[in-house]
């Protein structure tokens, strides 16, 4: 059974904490990219959360549906303008089915990594493919594992340090695991949150896509079409279901 790491406490501060990370321009670029891949059809977001991307995508005229484990996150989406019109199935996106076929299924912001075993990630690709109509796309945005920043034997990579926050990724290079530790000082109190992930190279994701009957169509370094290259810290990948 998947663990819900996005409980009421995390959901309450989620929008404010991600607003520090994502500019409105990035969100708009993301929505435009996804709208173009939806091509006028319906979209399904795996791990839709509070609708950070789903609502801007809907504002571009795309019918968006979602799957998410966290009732607390989805309650925030449904409380927003237009949010009540976004149907969401509560469940694990590696297994949960929703009605109908979609021209776009998407999974952003490293959320594929919330599935902490290879089997679950493989199942997620299969579930995404199951929801796609022929010619439809599965789009994933995920980090490139930062192993180039680790000396042999080291485990910690910091990616955000300030007077009132520290963010560290703790790598397990044998088990392909990663725990993200977040420390925040709020009202003089130290809040700690640690979430386990599984990292995967782009090539491993390509293999999962092939197992699900999908073909790689695009790999970019970002939502504005940046090239994917040796310096890319993440990628946006698009796999398509053949037209048959
Ligand atoms: C980092 S948030 C991203 C939310 C939204 N996609 C965004 O970009 O702001 C991850 C979301 O995925 C959901 N989630 C994580 N693992 C899940 C799983 N196995 N099945 C369904 N939802 C999951 C969490 O509840 C949370 O809402």
Spatial separation of the C-alpha atoms in residues 241 and 147, rounded to whole Å: 31
111 lines ligand 1 (CB under 6 A): yes
47 lines ligand 1 (CB under 6 A): yes
> Residue ranges of the alpha helices (H) in 100-180?
118-130
49 lines ligand 1 (CB under 6 A): yes
Overall average pLDDT of the 226-230 stretch: 97
| The ligand 1 atom nearest the CA atom of 110 | 1
pTM of this prediction? 0.96
Residue with the smallest CA separation from ligand 1 atom 22 is 68
pLDDT digit string, tens, across residues 65-112 = 999 999 999 999 999 999 999 999 999 999 999 999 999 999 999 999
**8 Å CB contact between 237 and 37:** no
pLDDT digit string, tens, across residues 179-194 = 999 998 888 999 898 9
Strands (E) located in 113-214: 132-143, 156-162, 165-172, 177-186, 189-198
**8 Å CB contact between 145 and 110:** no
**8 Å CB contact between 104 and 136:** yes
83 lines ligand 1 (CB under 6 A): no
51 lines ligand 1 (CB under 6 A): no
* Best residue for ligand 1 mutational test, from 8, 13, 49, 77 (most atoms within 8 Å of Cβ): 49
pLDDT band at 1 (very low <50, low <70, confident <90, very high): low
């Amino acid at each position: 059974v998947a663990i819900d790491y996005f409980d009421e406490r995390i959901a309450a501060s989620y929008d404010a904490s991600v607003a520090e990370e994502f500019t409105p321009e990035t969100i708009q670029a993301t929505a435009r990219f996804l709208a173009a891949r939806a091509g006028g059809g319906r979209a399904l977001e795996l791990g839709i959360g509070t609708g950070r991307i789903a609502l801007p995508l809907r504002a571009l005229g795309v019918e968006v549906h979602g799957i998410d484990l966290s009732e607390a996150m989805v309650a925030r989406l449904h409380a927003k303008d237009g949010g009540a019109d976004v149907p969401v199935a509560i469940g694990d996106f590696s297994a949960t089915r929703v009605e109908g076929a979609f021209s776009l299924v998407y999974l952003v912001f490293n959320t594929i990594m919330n599935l902490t075993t290879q089997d679950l990630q493989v199942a997620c690709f299969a579930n995404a493919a199951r929801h796609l109509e022929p010619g439809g796309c599965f789009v994933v945005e995920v980090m490139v594992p930062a192993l180039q920043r680790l000396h042999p034997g080291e485990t910690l990579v910091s990616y955000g340090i300030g007077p009132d926050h520290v963010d560290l990724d703790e790598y397990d290079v044998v088990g392909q695991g990663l725990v993200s530790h977040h420390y925040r000082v709020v009202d003089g109190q130290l809040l700690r949150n640690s979430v386990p992930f599984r990292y995967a190279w782009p090539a491993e994701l390509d293999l999962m896509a092939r197992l699900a009957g999908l073909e790689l169509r695009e790999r970019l370094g970002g939502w504005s079409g940046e090239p994917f290259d040796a310096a890319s810290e993440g990628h946006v990948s698009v796999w398509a279901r053949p037209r048959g």
